[in-house]
Chain A
Amino acid sequence: MTDVGFSATRRLILQGAGAVALVGLGNLPFGLTPALAANDKYPEAAFKAKSEADAIKALYGKTAEPSDKVKMDAPEIAENGAVVPISVTTTLADVTSISFLVSENPVALVASYKIPAGTLPNVANRIKMARTSNVIVVVEAGGKLYSANKEVKVTVGGCGG
């Protein structure tokens, strides 16, 4: 395992060696996050939310309105639910964040991207889908939230099914 040096180790120690020891238990659905710095916060609460509404609320503190300016590219049918390519682009201005959620996944929030000024509001990634589900993309632009969604059919589920 690689280690980038002092700062990672220092954070581990400062945030509690006890917390790190618990990660090895293996019966927690999500490991604890002792190693992350506080400034570029990892949205842990959002990744624990079960429903997409709760995840969006935890991430952004507001609700999204559907917008045809958010363009999702997702397959009609995903043959392999373990690897479903989804991308999004938008013509909205001042985009600061783009997130991907899957309603029927055990945890709705899959990924959230921070878009600094100067970075284009386009992201492509590959996600897991447990079963046929609505895939939702949320874009934060100019302080408001916009969304698009598409149903993606899954023939072989992405959770080992």
Chain B
Amino acid sequence: MASSIRVRATASGETTEVQALIQHPMDSGFIKDAKGEIIPAHFIQQLTFEYDGKNVFTADWGGGVSKDPYVKFAFKGGKKGDELKVSWVDNKGATDTTTAKIQ
């Protein structure tokens, strides 16, 4: 089954650059639908990245992050072939997680 998370992690010298794109509506709870009813808030609240058992980045998000959210960051360390674990939890308690190999 496909994960909602697409990650590309690339090691270059001492640094690993990470880009993540996640499928998620990121509804803020402020927009109305065609019937004039508020579309309930439904967005990822926390996204975490773990390398070698340690957290390397945490995103705390609100409904103001764009739909199908994208984030890019970089950390020192990380070797080609090592794994990076990415997980998120949203305001409804849903979660997803994936593991990507550093290229």
Contact = CB atoms under 8 A, between A and B. Distances in A.
Interface of A: 1-4, 8, 12, 20, 23-36, 40, 42-43, 47, 82-84, 87, 102, 105-107, 109-116, 118-120, 122-128, 158-160
A125 B69 contact: yes
A24 B65 CA distance: 21
Given A4-B97, A110-B64, A125-B65, A23 B75 contact: no
Nearest to B93: A35
A49 B88 CA distance: 23
Given A35-B93, A118-B56, A125-B69, A27 B38 contact: yes
A126 B91 contact: no
A127 B64 contact: yes
Contacts of B41: 28-31
A43 B60 contact: yes
Given A1-B94, A160-B32, 17 more contacts: A28-B29, A30-B29, A31-B92, A32-B91, A35-B95, A82-B66, A102-B64, A105-B64, A106-B28, A111-B60, A112-B59, A118-B56, A118-B75, A120-B75, A123-B72, A125-B65, A159-B31
Given A3-B95, A159-B31, A112 B65 contact: no
Nearest to A100: B64
Interface of B: 1, 3-4, 15, 28-32, 38, 40-42, 45-46, 48, 54-67, 69-77, 87, 89, 91-97
B64 A109 contact: yes
7 contacts: A29-B30, A30-B63, A36-B89, A42-B60, A47-B62, A107-B64, A158-B66
Contacts of B71: 123-125
Contacts of A126: 65-66, 69-70
A28 B28 CA distance: 11
Contacts of B74: 119-120, 122
Contact of A35 (B29, B69, B89): B89
A128 B28 contact: yes
Leading 8 A-B pairs by shortest Cβ distance: A35-B93, A31-B91, A110-B64, A26-B40, A114-B58, A124-B72, A126-B66, A119-B75
B91 to A, nearest CB: 4
B73 A113 contact: yes
Among B4, B32, B48, B69, residue most surrounded by chain A Cβ atoms (within 10 Å): B69
B15 A120 contact: yes
B9 to A, nearest CB: 13
